[in-house]
Amino acid sequence: MAAPTFADVVPIKRISSHQYSISLEDEWCIGSVPNGGYVTSSFLVVARTHMSQTHSTRSEPHPVNLHLEFLRRTSVGEAIFTVQDVKLGSRISNLHITLSQPKHPGDTVREDKAQGYITMSNIATEEGLSLDTEYTLSSPQALPVNLPILGANNLDENYTIRPADPFPQFRRAAQCIQIFLVRPDKRGPSRPKSIIDQWVRFSPKGVPNGRWTNDALGFLVDMFPQIVESYINPESEDAALGAQSQQQRRDSTKKPKVNGGRPFWYPTLVLNLDVKKLLPEEGVEWLFVRVRAKAVKNGRFDLDIEVWDETNELVATSTHASLIVDASRNIAGRSRSKTSKKNNDSKL
């Protein structure tokens, strides 16, 4: 049996030539809200399906650029994706896609939850000027890795597995990816808290048997240890990685807790994705991701993400604009399985 890919976890139904349905599932949620990266990858699947089925003669099956704006909280359940063909070209086509859901359970009227523009092309047949810019990851350099040893033993000389998210019941989507971080004894002063390096494997249903394809890039660029937490709650991450002594763990319980010890929620406002490389159709086991934040200020922060493969080729880049809010904003007016009629989805 082939290893599962992202297309296997988001079965898509074609309603008409320009409308599609995907069921957003609870296991991919942060709190009560489907993870933004999971939703982004759903947009990628819709765009690929649309060009492959409705415009099959154009041979432009690959999203190469995406700009997505999250207008309101999405919900578990059916999501309708409506596609507008903004421009159909011989090499590049542009789609506008809207995700809509009922404001309240049982409503017949839907409201827009997210909208995006996606540029479609055929990465496999692209031609044109190519130059070696000698671009590499900026300082600090990525530490070398032995992936066979890392996969077999959950650690190698420089990386170790991140056993679990500090808030696993709240960040359920984090169980669908296996993350390996730089070992605490290898971090050093040259690696600021504002940068996270990770090797990752796709783990649908918590089993690391999946493979990364281009469909999954949206999810991949939105799933990592939260940089804000490395500043305000470093004890949880260090404890998970075994970096704390018993005395440090005892001392950490005496420190004042940011936000009263409650988890934060980091909703994405805008996500941009630029795809540089087409991964194999059957997918790859490992990808490297660097996440960097430049400024965290007044409850807003930015993220720059780079995705690299085992051959040291750049696969994709992404930028985010995000908020920092109390986790109660995520679940306000909702339960895990049902949305209250009192919910005001105009608020994040």
pLDDT, one tens digit per residue, over 165-189 is: 777 888 899 999 999 999 999 988 8
Residues contacting residue 345 through CB under 8 Å, at least 6 positions apart: 72, 73, 103, 111, 113
Phi, psi for residue 26 in degrees, rounded to 5: -65, -35
Q: Quick one: tokens of 317?
A: 């880049």
- HSE-up of residue 270 (Cα within 13 Å, Cβ side): 9
Residues contacting residue 57 through CB under 8 Å, at least 6 positions apart: none
Distances (CA, A) of 193 to 19, 207, 215, 230, 297: 43, 29, 29, 6, 15
Q: How large is the average pLDDT for residues 308-318?
A: 97
pLDDT, one tens digit per residue, over 51-100 is: 999 999 999 999 999 999 999 999 999 999 999 999 999 999 999 999 99
Which residue's entry shows tokens 């995006």?
116
Residues 97, 118 contacting (CB under 8 angstroms): yes
pLDDT, one tens digit per residue, over 297-308 is: 999 999 999 999
Torsion (CA) 277, 279, 285, 286 in degrees, nearest 10? 0
Tell me how far apart the alpha carbons of residues 265 and 327 are, in angstroms, rounded to a whole number.
5
pTM of the model: 0.90
